[in-house]
């Protein structure tokens, strides 16, 4: 595994044990939670419980709410399904304005995983973070729903 390997992962459709086992199989050292509000309908994935479970499996947890998406934007996306608009909004309002927070990713122990709820990275803002990392020489892989 190269020192520049980074993963992205969504927890939707996974149990906490499956989620942790996938991370361990990839050698992930830190999970970077990029949800604005780290609360989940699946209680195992709410911040404090998730952090404890990860740390008990020797995986660190960091929450970067600055890289999250406000509720109003998520609601508009849900209504319109316009991912072109959504990703343009994210690039202009988060990627362009949160360079200090994004730069912190560059110094994290690797491999790390950028995490959000959405199972399909192509429909999630973490794909934009992945693109930003790739432009800086990182090799970014999605942990697919089937674990690949």
Ordered DSSP codes for 49-99: HHHHHHHHTT-EEEE-GGGS--HHHHHHHHHH--HHHHHHHHIIIIITT-H
pLDDT value of residue 147: 47
Is residue 146 over pLDDT 70?
A: no
pLDDT value of residue 143: 87
Domains (range + CATH), the chain: 9-142 (3.90.190)
pLDDT value of residue 5: 86
Mean of per-residue pLDDT scores for the chain: 92
Tell me the per-residue pLDDT of 58-96, one tens digit each, with 9 for 90 and over.
999 999 999 999 999 999 999 999 999 999 999 999 999
pLDDT value of residue 15: 95
């Amino acid at each position: 595994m190269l020192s520049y390997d980074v993963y992205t992962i969504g927890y939707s459709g996974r149990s906490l044990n499956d989620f942790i086992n996938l991370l361990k199989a990839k050698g992930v050292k830190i999970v970077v939670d990029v949800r604005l509000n780290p609360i989940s309908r699946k209680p195992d994935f709410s911040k404090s419980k998730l952090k404890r479970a990860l740390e008990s499996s020797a995986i660190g947890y960091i929450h970067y709410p600055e890289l999250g998406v406000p509720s109003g934007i998520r609601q508009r996306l849900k209504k319109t399904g316009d991912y072109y608009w959504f990703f343009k909004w994210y690039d202009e309002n988060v990627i362009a304005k949160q360079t200090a927070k994004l730069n912190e990713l560059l110094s994290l122990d690797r491999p790390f995983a950028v995490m959000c709820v959405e199972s399909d990275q192509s429909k999630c803002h973490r794909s934009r973070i992945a693109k930003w990392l790739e432009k800086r020489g990182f090799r970014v892989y999605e942990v697919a729903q089937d674990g690949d």
